[in-house]
Chain A
Amino acid sequence: MLEIRNLHVSIDDGTTMRPILRGIDLKVKAGEVHAIMGPNASGKSTLAQVLAGRETYTVTAGEVVFAGDDLLEMAPEERARAGIFLAFQYPVEIPGVANIYLLKAALNAVRKHRGEPELDAMDFLALVKDKLKLMEMDQDLLYRAVNEGFSGGEKKRNEILQMAVLEPRLAILDETDSGLDIDALKVVAKGVEAMRSPGRAIILVTHYQRLLNYVVPDYVHVLVHGRIARSGGRELALELERDGYAGIEAPASGNLAGIAA
């Protein structure tokens, strides 16, 4: 479904181009859940944002193929319509725009792209109510402005709610677990777990392995200094939990991981 080859990404910090990702290779197949872990500033969030099409970053080399298409050539909205969803680490507030309005506009944009008819208000509401229940969210939240005045936990749940409504083919969750208490974490995990299906791939970007107790990944990759330093199964996350990232060195050159799942 997704294939990343030798991806190099830099950010323009005003004077120079500072490299962040330095040769990422990754293959993700439908039905798989991949966890991307790593210390602060290793490039995890950058990878998530680049996949979603953030233009703050410059891709200097490499390619990304999503469902046969050159992902890097696509605008962010085209990627979303093609089935990529990014759950933001810091969901953005949009004052005055009702949460449900953005959700409906988003779903209809995706449906239109798929050649499906737009949902009318009644059908849409029925669909959303269903997903709200799953996320244990209050209906009030639909009518409040997008993320405005939401607590940290509400923002994260709202991201998962959007994902549940949009039903992406590839969901990328950028530190969705950070800042959540254990109850909220369980709810979020339940939402993610409910999305798991043979036709869908999920990439979990996370610092900690505790989310992985609830959403068990098929593969774990450790990102260090912009490269995948190690890849493995579920047990790698537990090892990291025990030993920390200290023992993992960035590969000197080339790519050691490249797990062909």
Chain B
Amino acid sequence: MTTAAYELDDLISQGYQHGFFTDVETDAVPRGLNEDVIHVISAKKNEPPFMLAWRLKAYRHWLTMTEPHWATVKHPAIDYQDIVYYSAPKSMKNGPRSLEEVDPELLRMYEKLGVPMQERELLAGVAVDAVFDSVSVATTFKDKLADLGIIFCSFSEAVQAHPDLVQQYLGTVVPYTDNFFATLNSAVFTDGSFCYIPPGVRCPMELSTYFRINAKNTGQFERTLIIADRGAYVSYLEGCTAPMRDENQLHAAVVELIALEGAQIKYSTVQNWYPGDKDGKGGIYNFVTKRGECRGNDSKISWTQVETGSAITWKYPSVILRGDNSVGEFHSVALTNHYQQADTGTKMIHLGRNTRSTIVSKGISAGHGSNAYRGRVLVAKSAAGARNYTQCDSLLLGDRCAAHTFPYIEVKNPTAKVEHEASTSRIGEDQLFYCQSRGLSAEDAVSIIVNGFCKEVFKELPMEFAVEAQKLLGVSLEGSIG
């Protein structure tokens, strides 16, 4: 028993593979936050007045708020005056017009991470909007998408080129007053991605963004806004890795999705930020607000996430089911190891009639990791015939980790049907030995057991991403014959 336990420990304590630092000159504003800093950010980005006004409203509101502490995560106090709120790679000053103009140092970094750029992206069929620190470095496939009327660009670019769309939709799902971190983001966000799919258009490729936190002490405040107009369809992929770092870094992103009548948005995330070292030192603090609104009837939004990184994950991708017959889905795998803490889950807010939601959450805890599922299912009085199905499974590796489940269910319409199932299991020495006695190494055995546990979620990921997800769990997933 003891030997097996040690082996398990070795397997789950493999070092972080993406720990390298790219040396790029940065152009940063001084530490700290005040109205001047917000003016500087807005000016640097050459924003129209409505953006500045919105940022300032958010900032003033933020000053009245306090950091939330209801999650099962613990961290030292964050000094918001000790953060650099804007930093951009210097080589970006005049903006690259093509890949050739992109800083080769950046390209090398993406290569190391396996981001498909240049020809590789053609083969992969992925349009990459790469976010390096706070500014988008290269956006590809734009022309191809433009032919269909699809807008896919950095947020800053959208503010310049499509201010009307930005003004119409920004903050309509996550208002600037929403919560401490979202409000902070609204005040200081530097860049992110913007996507608009016109009516009736099915986006022919997976859209993808790679986020990467790099410059020292730079908080990352990304903002993503995706709008699928009537009858449109888009699948969006977000993937992240970060270089090894000793100091905690705050990340507070906001993602807003809007699906109009009959539209579908599929949003997939693989998150692998630096989780801190074996003793819990360092790592990213990830406080993210992700929310989608099925604004029109018969629309659908699905979130799929694989969360393996960050020291702290605080994240609840949610769906507001406003349109009648609209559908919300949440599929999640969250893995915590060493001293990682995750408090994640979803909210499904049923407002429209016959709205349906599905929640499948798989939490894996190893080492001293702590994993909490926190979910809220609200069926409003107006949501006649609403249905929800929730399944929360936890898998424990070792005996020092923790798993918690906090489902909140509120039903105000008597015709609604809400189901909740939960389970907790442990990777058994029995399972390990069984696989080993068939010739698999202990490492492969853990991999296939964990992958089996996550299978329901992985099958929701687009093919390209499923591969990434398997890699992240240190595995080769079931082949085509599985």
Is B206's beta carbon under 8 Å from chain A?
A: no
Q: Which A residues touch B1, using CB under 8 A?
A: 12, 55-56
B16 adjacent to chain A (CB < 8 Å): no
Looking across the interface, which residue of chain B has its beta carbon closest to that of A52? B437
**Contact status B439-A106, CB under 8 Å:** yes
CB neighbours (8 Å) of A166 from chain B are 438-439
A-B contact count (CB 8 A): 101
A55 engages B452 (CB within 8 Å): no
Proximity bits, B457-481, A CB within 8 Å = 1, else 0? 0000000000000000000001111
Q: Which of B4, B442, B452, B481 contacts A96 (CB 8 A)?
A: B452
Q: Are B482 and A92 in contact (CB under 8 A)?
A: no
Nearest-Cβ distance from residue A173 to partner chain B, whole angstroms: 13
**Shortest beta-carbon distance from B53 to chain A in Å:** 51
Q: Most chain-A Cβ atoms within 10 A of its Cβ — which of B3, B438, B441? A: B438
Across the interface, do B439 and A97 meet the contact criterion of CB distance under 8 Å? no
Contact between chains at A101 and B478 (CB < 8 Å) = yes
Tell me which residues across on chain B come within 8 A of A248, comparing CB atoms. none
Whole-angstrom CA separation of A145 from B482 in the bound complex: 10
Shortest CB-to-CB span from A85 to chain B, Å, is 8
Q: Does B436 contact A (CB under 8 A)?
A: yes
Partner among B428, B431, B482 whose Cβ is within 8 Å of the Cβ of A100: B482
A77–B482 Cα gap in the complex (Å)? 22
Per-position 1/0 for A88-111, Cβ under 8 A of B: 100111111110111011100110
Which B1-33 residues have a C-beta within 8 angstroms of A?
1, 3-4
In chain B between 90 and 114, which residues have their CB closer than 8 angstroms to a CB of chain A? none
Contact of A106 among B4, B440, B442, B451 (CB under 8 A): B440
B435: interface (CB < 8 Å): yes
Measured between beta carbons, the chain A residues less than 8 angstroms from B3 are 55
Q: Could you jot down 18 A-B contacts, CB within 8 Å?
A: A52-B433, A52-B437, A54-B433, A55-B1, A77-B436, A77-B437, A80-B436, A80-B437, A85-B437, A91-B434, A94-B431, A94-B434, A96-B455, A96-B456, A105-B444, A109-B441, A110-B439, A121-B479
Judged by a CB distance under 8 angstroms, whether A133 is at the interface is no
Asked if B54 is at the interface (CB within 8 A of a chain A CB), the reply is no
Closest 3 CB pairs of A and B: A96-B452, A97-B452, A109-B439
Question: Which residues of B are found within 8 Å of A81, using beta-carbon distances?
Answer: 439
Known A-B contacts A100-B482, A104-B481, A125-B481; A94 and B448 likewise in contact (beta carbons under 8 Å): yes
Whether A113 lies near B439 (C-beta < 8 A) is yes
**Contact assessment for A94 and B435 in the assembled complex, using a CB-CB cutoff below 8 Å:** yes
Interface centre among B442, B448, B482 (most CB of A within 10 A): B482
Residue from B437, B480, B482 with most neighbouring chain A CB atoms (10 Å): B437
Q: Which residue of A lies closest to B429 (CB)?
A: A56
Binding site for A on B (CB under 8 A): 1, 3-4, 428-431, 433-442, 444, 448-449, 451-456, 478-482
Inter-subunit contact B452/A95 (CB<8 Å): yes
A96–B482 CA distance with the chains assembled, in angstroms: 10
Residue-wise interface mask of A (145-170) relative to B, using a CB-CB cutoff of 8 A (1 in contact, 0 not) = 11000000000000000100010000
Chain B residues with Cβ below 8 Å from A85 are: 437
Pick the residue among B436, B442, B451, B480 that contacts A97 (CB under 8 A): B451
Whether B448 contacts A97 by the Cβ 8 Å rule is yes
Q: Give the complex CA separation of A98 and B440 in angstroms.
A: 15
Cβ of A86 under 8 Å from chain B? yes
With an 8 A cutoff between CB atoms, is A214 at the interface? no
**A43 CB within 8 Å of chain B:** no
Residue of B433, B449, B456, B480 most packed against chain A (CB within 10 A) = B433
Known pairs A88-B434, A101-B479; A80 contacts B452 (CB<8 A): no
Roughly how many angstroms separate A135 CA and B28 CA in the complex, as a whole number? Answer: 70
Q: How far is the CA of A166 from the CA of B439 in the complex (A)?
A: 10
Contact indicator B436/A76 (Cβ below 8 Å): yes
Scan residues 23-66 of chain A and give those whose CB is less than 8 A from a CB of chain B.
52-56
Q: Is the CB of B481 within 8 A of A92?
A: no
Residues of chain B within 8 A (CB-CB) of A54 are: 433
For residue A74, give the distance in angstroms from its CB to the closest CB of chain B: 11
Say yes or no: A124-B481 contact (C-beta < 8 A), given A55-B4, A92-B431, A105-B444.
Answer: yes
Nearest A residue to B456 via CB reads: A96
The answer to whether B453 and A96 have CB atoms under 8 Å apart is yes
